[in-house]
Structure 1
Amino acid sequence: MKTLFMLLLFCHVASTVRHSLKYFLSATSGVPNLPEFVGFAMVNEVLAGYCDSNSKIVEPKQNWVRDFMKDNPKHMEWYTQMCFSNQHYFRADIDDLKQRLNQTGGAHILQSMDGCEWDDETGEVIGFHQYGYDGEDFIAMDMQTLTWTAPKQQAFITKLRWDADKARSEYNKNVHIHTCPDWLKKYLHYGRSFLQRTVSCHATGFYPDRAMMYWRKDGEEHHEDVDYGEILPNHDGSFQISVDLILSSVAPEDWRRYDCVFHLSGVEDHIVTKLDKAKIRTNWVSPSEFPAGVVTGVVALLLLLVLCITGLFIWRRNNNGFRPANTE
C-alpha cells in the first residue's frame, strides 16, 4: 500500500528554557592594531551591543536592541557611562597587575565576564563575575558565600582586598541575582522573534512508525543546537515527526551547509532537503523520483532571514575556564 507523504521545512519560535545575559570587557597593553578597551554584551549568545576605546560610542548590534534603547533611553545612558568608566578602571587594573608581577614589557590582556543565567521554567537564577589575565583564570566571585576565589597565587592580594569590601560584594550579588535577570527578561521580550528562531523539518503522513529524521552539516550528522521530536500518530493511522535546528547562530551564507534527512524504515534511499536560500520554492515531484512506497505530496521551504553579526571576540571561555585570547 502506498502512503501519502508530506515533508515540510518551516520556521517557528521555539521555547528556550535557559537564557543568558553576559558582559565581556577586555583591556590590552602592548597589543598593536587593537583598541585598548573593548566591551560587548550578549543575550542568549547573540551579540547585542559593543563599544571600544577607539570608536567612543556604544553601538547596538540588533534592530530589537535599537528599539529597546529608543524606548528606554536611561539604559543607553547607563551603558554609555559604564563602558567609558570601565575603560579607566581596567586601564588602572592592568597597570597595577603589570607592576605587581614585575612585567615591564610584552603584550598583556585583562578580561572579565559577568552576568546571569535564568531558567524560564524553574525561575532559577545563576549569577557570575570572573576575571582572567593573559588567557588564564585570575579571580572569580562565589555568589553563595560572597567571597572571591583566587586560583592563582598572584591574585591572592586582590582576593583579600575584595573580600574585605562587603559593600562591593553585596552590590555584586544584587546586580547579578536581581537586576541582571530583570533586564534579561526585558531584552528577551523585545528580541523574542529573533533570539529564538528555529527551522523545523516536519514529515507527516508516513507509515509505518519506524523512521528517522535528523539534520546534517557538510554531509555529517549534526547534533549541536538540534531538538529531536518524537514520532507521533495522526488521526488517519499515519505518523509524523519533527526535528528543529536553532538558527540564531547560523549565518545566512552557511545555510547551504545544512540539510534535513528523512529515512523511512525498509526504504533504501533517504529524502534530503537542503537548507539553501537560493532554493526556496514549492517543489512538486513525480512519485517515480522518490523511493518505492513513498508518494511525495509537496516539499515547501518557508525560511526566515537571520541577521548575521560578525565582530571581534577577544575573550572566549570553555568549560575549563579562560583560554588564550586571539589578538590577531
Structure 2
Amino acid sequence: MFTYHINMKTLFMLLLFCHVASTGKIVKHSLKVLLTATSGITNIPEFVNFGMVDEVEMAYYDSNIKIVETKQDWMRDFMKDNPKHMEWYTQMCFKYQQVFRAYIDDLKQRLNQTGGAHILQAMSGCEWDDETGEVIGFSQFGYDGEDFIALDLQTMTWTATRQKAFTTKLIWNADKASLEYSKYYFNHECPHWLKEYVHYGRSSLQRTDLPSVSLIQKTPSSPVSCHATGFYPDRAMMYWRKDGEEHHEDLDHGEILPNHDGSFQISVDLILSSVAPEDWRRYDCVFNLSGVEDDIVTKLDKAQIRTNWGKTEIRSGEGGRQVSDLLI
C-alpha cells in the first residue's frame, strides 16, 4: 500500500514496499526509482525522483532544483566516468516530471476531483541475482495513499488494483509502443545499469559496521533507552523483548538518524513505570542489522545503565555518537 507524509524525503522512505533482509553475502541487488507528483500541496516540490540501489539512495531530483544530485561518492565517480549517462538521467527526470503532471491532472479530471491535496506515486525498477543471473522487473502506482495499478511483466499488461483505475488500465494496455519499451527496459536496460551501479558501489553497498549499544536513563523516573550508534547501512531493526518474545507495550520507537561520519543511530525507549523491579530480568533489547546473521542482545540490568548519576555502560562494536551527549 502507498502512503505519504508532508516531508517528501520521509514520504519515500516510508513507502510500504517491503524487501527481505538478507543474511551473509548480498547476492540479490535492486534498482528502484521512486517518483511522485503532487497537487494542492504547497510546501513540497510538485515532482520528486529518488534513485536507489540496494535500498541506498544514490540520486535525487525534484522540480524545484531541476538538477540531478548524486548522493554517494561511488555514484559521483560513475557519473564522472559516464557524463552522457548524467545527461540521460537528467532528461529522463525532466520527461517524467511532465508525464506525471499530466497523469495527475488526468486522474483528477476523470475522478471529478476539483480541489484538495492529491498525490500520485510510482515505484519501478528491477532485481538481479548475481549468482543465478535471474532478473525480475516491477512497476506499480499508487494514488492518494492507495495501490492503484501495477504492471504484470509475465503478460505485459497493466492490472487495476482499484475500480477507479479501470479506465487507466484500458488506456495504458492499448498503448502497445509503451508496453514494448517497458518490456525492453525491465529485461535489458534496467539490469544493465543496475550491474554498472553495483560494480562502482560494491565496497560501499556491501559494507557492514556493527554499532555500539548502550542502555541510557536520564533520571530515575525516565524511560530506559536502548541506543545503538555507529552502524551501517541504515537497514536495521531494534526492539525490546519480554521472555524472549517481541514486546509492543510501553515503548517509544525512535527513527533511524544519520551521524556526522556517515553511520547511523537509533533508540527505543522502554517505559518502566509498569515494570516491576523483579521483572527487569525478563526484558532485553535486540538490535538486528541487515546482512548480519547474529543479533546484538542487551539485557535490562540496572548495573549496566548509563545515567547522569554515574553508572557503567554496555558497548558492542565501534564508532558513532558519544552516549554522554544523549544524557545532557
**TM-score, normalization: structure 2?**
0.61
CA distance in 1, matches of 2:103, 2:320: 51
Shift of the 279–138 alpha-carbon distance from structure 1 to 2, 3 Å rule, reads: closer
- Is contact 1:28–1:108 with CA below 8 Å preserved after alignment? yes
Q: Which has the larger radius of gyration?
A: 1
Match of 1:66 among 68, 73, 76: 76
- Is contact 2:210–2:318 with CA below 8 Å preserved after alignment? no
- Is contact 2:30–2:55 with CA below 8 Å preserved after alignment? yes
- Is contact 1:256–1:276 with CA below 8 Å preserved after alignment? no
Aligned positions of 1:38-187 closer than 5 A: 38-187=48-197
Aligned positions of 1:1-328 closer than 5 A: 15-199=25-209, 218=227, 252-254=263-265, 273-277=315-319
SS at match of 2:166: helix
SS at match of 1:113: strand
- Is contact 1:112–1:129 with CA below 8 Å preserved after alignment? yes
Percent identity among equivalent residues? 61
Gaps of 5+ in 2: 1-23, 212-225, 229-234, 238-255, 269-286, 289-294, 299-303, 305-313, 323-328
SS at match of 1:154: helix
Shift of the 106–274 alpha-carbon distance from structure 1 to 2, 3 Å rule, reads: same
Equivalenced residues, count: 223
The root-mean-square deviation of aligned C-alpha atoms, in Å, is 3.2
Shift of the 200–73 alpha-carbon distance from structure 1 to 2, 3 Å rule, reads: same
Runs of 4+ in structure 1 displaced over 2 angstroms?
Answer: 249-253, 255-263, 272-276
- Greater strand percent: which structure? 1
Gaps of 5+ in 1: 1-13, 202-216, 227-246, 264-268, 281-328
- Is contact 1:112–1:130 with CA below 8 Å preserved after alignment? yes
CA distance in 1, matches of 2:128, 2:78: 20
- Is contact 2:141–2:147 with CA below 8 Å preserved after alignment? yes
- Is contact 2:263–2:320 with CA below 8 Å preserved after alignment? no
**TM-score, normalization: structure 1?**
0.61
CA distance in 2, matches of 1:129, 1:278: 37
1:131 maps to a residue whose letter is F
- Is contact 1:23–1:114 with CA below 8 Å preserved after alignment? yes
- Is contact 2:141–2:148 with CA below 8 Å preserved after alignment? yes
Flag the structure with more relative contact order, 1 or 2, with Cα contacts below 8 A and sequence separation at least 6.
Answer: 1
2:138 maps to a residue whose letter is F
- Is contact 2:265–2:320 with CA below 8 Å preserved after alignment? no
Task: Give, in angstroms, the shift of residue 255 of structure 1.
Answer: 7.6
Task: Give, in angstroms, the shift of residue 200 of structure 1.
Answer: 6.6
- Is contact 1:261–1:273 with CA below 8 Å preserved after alignment? no
Task: Give, in angstroms, the shift of residue 15 of structure 1.
Answer: 2.7
